[in-house]
Chains A and B, each alone.
Chain A
Amino acid sequence: MIPDFDRVSLKGIARHYGRRRALSGITLTVHGGEIVGLLGPNGAGKSTLIGVLATLVAPSSGELRFGGLSPREAAVRGRIGLLAHELHLYGELTAHENLAFFAGLYGLDPGAAVGAALERAGLSERAHDEVASFSRGMRQRLALERALLHRPRLLLLDEPFTGLDDAAVGFVVDRLRRLAADGCIIVVATHDLDVADGLVTRVALIRGGRLVSDEPAGAGLRARYRSLVGHA
């Protein structure tokens, strides 16, 4: 049976790289259905925190739990989806081959999963073209479907809107809202306040590796960000 969880909890998470402190004392719990925006300037520690949540970066101290599950359980990774600025796609392979490869890694039947994912990404007609020939927006749509192929409970996105035009941003935002409505836990690291403003249900502001604010999203995000972090 595939393990499941309904929340992710971080308690006193710290991560040091030598003497540099990337994260310090991060305590945060995210529940299913929430879209949490991790906001902060460049170098604030957002990507490191996403790495910790993805179990790819080991915290120096603190505790990370996926419901009642430990991050050390390999099966937990099967419930996490990650989309970063680097899209985790092989440019030399076609869209179909990329999705089929990752479906195989997750033990899915590529026949069923890949066709549906290509359909959702609007790339059925380009299924057998090499990904290197795709526009940034097309690659981003494909990468999002790759991250969602195994129906993750926790979806982590690190600057998912970089380089996208309005239509592509609209596609991603719409997809994320539907996933949250289905109970997915979504954490989006971004410094794009315009997109975050209408998308996230909760805002976690990070500065210098510390969580300086954690509150429900609402009007005046830009003003709050400016007062707590600096320039918006």
Chain B
Amino acid sequence: MFARIALLVLRKDVAIEVRSREILYTTLFFAVSCVLVFAFALVREGQVAEDVPAGILWIAIAFAGTLALGRTFERERYGETIRALLLAPAPRSAIFVGKMLGVVALLVVAEVLLVPIVALMFDAGGLFARPILFAGLLAAGTIGFSAVGTLFAAMLMRSRTRDVLLPILLYPITVPVIIAGVRGTAALLQPAPDEAMAEMWLGILVSFDIVFVTLALWTFEPLMTE
């Protein structure tokens, strides 16, 4: 039941996005623009400080994610469809998971585009040296960010100042996720990739994910009751 409802909500969001491509295009355009601006500002004669590519990648993911989160729930607010979702006898936590997976899917598409661009613009070919470890860092970071983001975006849906409040609330809470993602990625980008360090940061990210997803599942239902 739980998985069926979560997948139903995810499939619905994907179907809407495939048809409108509204969030995907704006998110990708914003993410790529962000990386290009940093590349022009920070790369001098082909040289860039060692940890910069990791920072730029995660900043672009966080900014793009914030944009996607706002738009995803704007869609539910427009026709008040969120009320119809909440009225269904389905577990509300499954609806949360479905919405969260939709955001994760959007960010995965953005990451597929962003990683090669960052590697190219910042001469960071090391991103592909340990692909499984790097994919693990990206996946864990994306899930943690999306869990907190989905909860806050849903909470703020009825607030008139939601566009301002979302980043204000989201970034301080997700700073640990972004720091862990940056440090883990930076460990892989060193001339001699530090796998042990990257694995440690991956472990920390997974711990954050467990805490954030559990808290979000626990608080979604009471927070969504008006």
Contacts and interface: CB of A to CB of B under 8 A. Distances in A.
Pair from one complex: yes
Contacts of B90: 74, 105-107
Given A58-B226, A82-B87, A90-B16, A105 B79 contact: no
A56 B89 contact: no
Interface string A71-112: 000111110101010111111110001000110111100000
Contacts of B89: 74-78, 106-107
Interface in A20-42: none
Interface residues of B, number: 25
Contacts of A75: 89
A188 interface: no
Nearest to B89: A78
The listed residue with most B CB atoms (<10 A of its CB), out of A58, A75, A104, is: A104
B155 to A, nearest CB: 15
B125 interface: no
B88 A91 contact: no
Given A84-B80, A88-B79, A89-B81, A56 B12 contact: no
B83 interface: yes
Nearest to B76: A90
Contacts of A74: 89-91
A85 to B, nearest CB: 9
The listed residue with most A CB atoms (<10 A of its CB), out of B15, B16, B83, B87, is: B87
A51 interface: yes
B5 interface: yes
A212 interface: no
Given A101-B8, A105-B8, A82 B83 contact: yes
Using C-beta atoms within 8 Å of the partner chain, give the interface range for chain A: 20 to 34
A149 B80 CA distance: 18
A90 B12 contact: yes
A56 B19 contact: no
Contacts of A91: 78-79
A113 interface: no
B225 A58 contact: yes
A55 interface: yes
Contacts of B4: 104
Contacts of A51: 226
Contact of B5 (A92, A105, A130): A105
Contact of B84 (A78, A88, A92, A107): A88
A56 B8 contact: no
B86 A105 contact: no
Given A56-B83, A74-B91, A105-B85, A92 B226 contact: no
A101 B8 CA distance: 7
Contacts of A89: 79, 81
Given A51-B226, A90-B79, A80 B16 contact: no
Interface of B: 1, 4-5, 8, 12, 15-16, 19-20, 75, 78-81, 83-91, 225-226
8 contacts: A57-B226, A75-B89, A88-B79, A89-B79, A90-B12, A93-B19, A97-B15, A106-B88
Interface of A: 51, 54-58, 74-78, 80, 82, 84, 86-93, 97, 101-102, 104-107, 130, 146
Given A90-B16, A93-B12, 19 more contacts: A51-B226, A56-B83, A56-B87, A56-B225, A57-B226, A58-B226, A77-B87, A77-B88, A77-B89, A86-B79, A86-B80, A86-B83, A88-B84, A89-B79, A93-B15, A93-B19, A97-B15, A105-B88, A107-B90
